[in-house]
Amino acid sequence: MMVRRLFVSLFSIGAIVTTVNVTASANEPIQPIKAVKPENPDLVELGKMLFFDPRLSKSGFISCNSCHNLSMGGTDNIPTSIGHSWQQGPINAPTVLNANMNLAQFWDGRAADLKEQAGGPIANPGEMASSHNLAIEIVSSIPQYRALFEKAFGSDKVDIDRATTAIAEFEETLVTPGSRFDKWLEGDKKALNKQELEGYKLFKSSGCTSCHNGPAAGGTIYQKFGVYHTYETESKIEGRKSVTGKDSDLHFFKVPTLRNVELTYPYFHDGAVWTLEEAVKIMGKVQLDIDFNEKEIASIVAFLKTLTGEQPDIKLPILPPSNNKTPRPEPF
Amino acid sequence: MMVRRLFVSLFSIGAIVTTVNVTASANEPIQPIKAVKPENPDLVELGKMLFFDPRLSKSGFISCNSCHNLSMGGTDNIPTSIGHSWQQGPINAPTVLNANMNLAQFWDGRAADLKEQAGGPIANPGEMASSHNLAIEIVSSIPQYRALFEKAFGSDKVDIDRATTAIAEFEETLVTPGSRFDKWLEGDKKALNKQELEGYKLFKSSGCTSCHNGPAAGGTIYQKFGVYHTYETESKIEGRKSVTGKDSDLHFFKVPTLRNVELTYPYFHDGAVWTLEEAVKIMGKVQLDIDFNEKEIASIVAFLKTLTGEQPDIKLPILPPSNNKTPRPEPF
């Protein structure tokens, strides 16, 4: 109450409002997302180019953006991804948006951070099917790229460490502030309607926020999928167990972010569920042993849709051409 | 001479220079490319979204931009394209840049214009593998898209005619003015160096410009590939004959544009040739019965690289999400 009154009385004093807003949302389990101002814009720009460059794949056809499409919430919007030679991936591609807030990367947390993650798909035979050596040979054969490494790192050496550092630095900028929910958190009490607010209250009181918390509304812990009831799936994915080797980690996954969840369908690690209504119903049952009724589901879904933030403003990069020395793609 | 003196004397009078510049290049077989200012920006924006939307494909993975990648000269930089289920396409994907200057579309000219072309790959089982009906059902299920059709066309009806009209209108904007060659054409005689200028003179005197002419340096006529000698290829493509049915049209193709040719490798309808040097050598031999020596080839290649223009400035579109009514992709 104290906090709320303070907020109202200072509403028109711009310079102080920021501080007060933080206070306003301090007791909420989900915190607002802050915009990111990159320290090294040259590094970010280089990372963006690499993120969009399909020459990091064996075929010359698949880029990071193929499965983490920034036109589509940083995902591919299909159950599991398409890899080299149209191989079917084993798991749903997580969004790259706000991924810097995850405690680790991939559903099973097998990469410590974005940089480590970025190297994975390049060399995965089922994904981009290249190798770090080949990808680096391609990039370093292109003088325009070498000049950009020089600009970003101070020397024109191209290696996988630098390339993945650049991609990660670009991904650090892929945050989505400005959602209606964040406006509400920051004090604009009209930003949510009655149904959305009811949904948020129910989301909290039901226990969803014990996992979906922090600025990303997820990404802060591992949790078992199927706490009260088994989640029925055809997927053989073991989750965290495949990293730790512990049976007790079977079907533990990094809790996915709910930011932009309206854009990141289909849902769950198997991508088997297409609607938010069904996803909420299942989560209530298997994780909390709650049978939400239709009205409750509708209100939680209405709340979830307020988590869609401003999407990153991306100018499509123009990639420097290969030349006579550049290793050629092998699409077939 | 008269023209040149006039140009010099009026050099600093901006308003008149334009007229004079046109005169300066009037006798050249290649004309400068002009920037395009769209009449209906809403239609262009809608077309851009559709161009980038992989939901026009059965898999939900392939968009127009997959094979006409605007980060890579409007091509995919592989010999022949990858279609649904990783099918190998029969022919090299032509650039979408400056494609509005072609007398017809596709290598064999089977589509009269960009609008007719745009409908082809969507319903081609070897490319996007969808159908016009399905693609339209998907787009029209999305209220945000319907609102954009309303804005662009005056009513929210979504059909294939409107969708391809929008894509074509976006493609009309994909022109690349401002190349060094165009600067030279427009009177900046320092825009080309000695080797490049020698290359251009040789390009003209050898007869290349009898086919590669007009603003796009191509696209104005059909010509037989293999005038003096047979072009050796594994490709079974018949070219213009498959449209007209005439034996005399065997291996006739629409002359491709040479604009941005440094970016649109590999070359020829079979995409079998990766370097400009080899492409020039082959063209000299099979089309003109000329054996260019290394120095001549180097100068023509140097000239060709001056045809790279300013690439379109594209802000990546944010696509409106599918909803519970939207037909789902079938990637596998």
CB A310 within 8 A of CB A38: no
Residues B131 and B186 in one domain: no
Assigned token pair, B244: 């007209």
**Average of per-residue pLDDT across A62-88:** 98
C-alpha distance from A262 to closest chain B C-alpha (Å): 7
CA distance A107 to A249: 13
Number of domain units in chain A: 2
Q: Model confidence over A88-115: pLDDT tens digits? A: 999 999 999 999 999 999 999 999 999 9
**Average of per-residue pLDDT across A268-273:** 98
Residues A286 and A214 in one domain: yes
- DSSP code of residue A82: B
C-alpha distance from B188 to closest chain A C-alpha (Å): 25
CA B109 to chain centre: 13
Which one of B61, B71, B77 has the shortest CB-CB distance to A82? B61
In B, which residues are within 8 Å of A280 by CB distance?
none
CB A8 within 8 A of CB A2: no
Around Cβ A119, how many Cβ atoms within 10 Å?
18
pLDDT at A23: 52
* Beta strand extents in chain A (DSSP E only): 222-224, 252-254
Q: Could you tell me if residue B108 is inside a domain? A: yes
Q: Which residue of A has its CA nearest to B330?
A: A78
Residues B66 and B105 in one domain: yes
In A, which residues are within 8 Å of B88 by CB distance?
331-332
User: Is A275 in Cβ contact with B321 (below 8 Å)?
Assistant: no
Q: Which residues of B24-42 are buried (b: 16+ CB within 10 A; e: fewer)?
A: bbeeeebbbbeeeeeeeeb
pLDDT at A24: 63
Q: Model confidence over B188-224: pLDDT tens digits? A: 999 999 999 999 999 999 999 999 999 999 999 999 9
Q: Could you tell me if residue B34 is inside a domain? A: no
Amino acid at A110: R
B222 bridge partner residues: B254
CA distance A75 to A78: 8
Q: Assess whether pLDDT exceeds 60 at residue A201.
A: yes
Residues B83 and B142 in one domain: yes
Q: A221: exposed, middle or buried (C-beta count within 10 Å: 0-12, 13-18, 19+)?
A: middle
Residues A159 and A196 in one domain: no
pLDDT at A26: 75
CA distance A70 to A76: 9
**Average of per-residue pLDDT across A180-194:** 97
Residues B125 and B216 in one domain: no
CATH for A203:
1.10.760.10
Q: Could you tell me if residue A86 is inside a domain? A: yes
- Structural domain for A161, as ranges: 41-172
Assigned token pair, A284: 């209530």
**Average of per-residue pLDDT across A239-257:** 97
Residues of chain B with pLDDT under 70: 1-24
CB A174 within 8 A of CB A312: yes
Q: Could you tell me if residue A119 is inside a domain? A: yes
Residues B186 and B130 in one domain: no
Assembly ipTM: 0.92
Q: Could you tell me if residue B63 is inside a domain? A: yes
CA distance A14 to B114: 52
Residues B186 and B296 in one domain: yes
Q: Model confidence over A103-154: pLDDT tens digits? A: 999 999 999 999 999 999 999 999 999 999 999 999 999 999 999 999 999 9
Q: Could you tell me if residue B135 is inside a domain? A: yes
In A, which residues are within 8 Å of B329 by CB distance?
77-78
- Average pLDDT value for chain A: 93
Q: Could you tell me if residue A4 is inside a domain? A: no
C-alpha distance from B109 to closest chain A C-alpha (Å): 26
Q: Nearest-CA neighbor of B306 among B114, B33, B21, B80?
A: B33
Q: Could you tell me if residue A322 is inside a domain? A: no
Residues A235 and A117 in one domain: no
Residues B183 and B284 in one domain: yes
The CA–CA distances, whole Å, from A208 to A23, A201, A204, B45 equal 23, 10, 6, 39
Catalytic site includes residue B172? no
Residues B220 and B292 in one domain: yes
Residues B184 and B162 in one domain: no
Question: Which of A143, A172, A201 represents a domain boundary (last residue)?
Answer: A172
- DSSP code of residue A113: S
CA distance A88 to A274: 18
Question: pTM for the full model?
Answer: 0.93
Amino acid at A147: A
Q: Tokens 């214009």 map to which residue?
A: B113
CA distance A128 to A247: 31
pLDDT at A149: 98
Rg (CA), chain A: 21
Rg (CA), chain B: 21
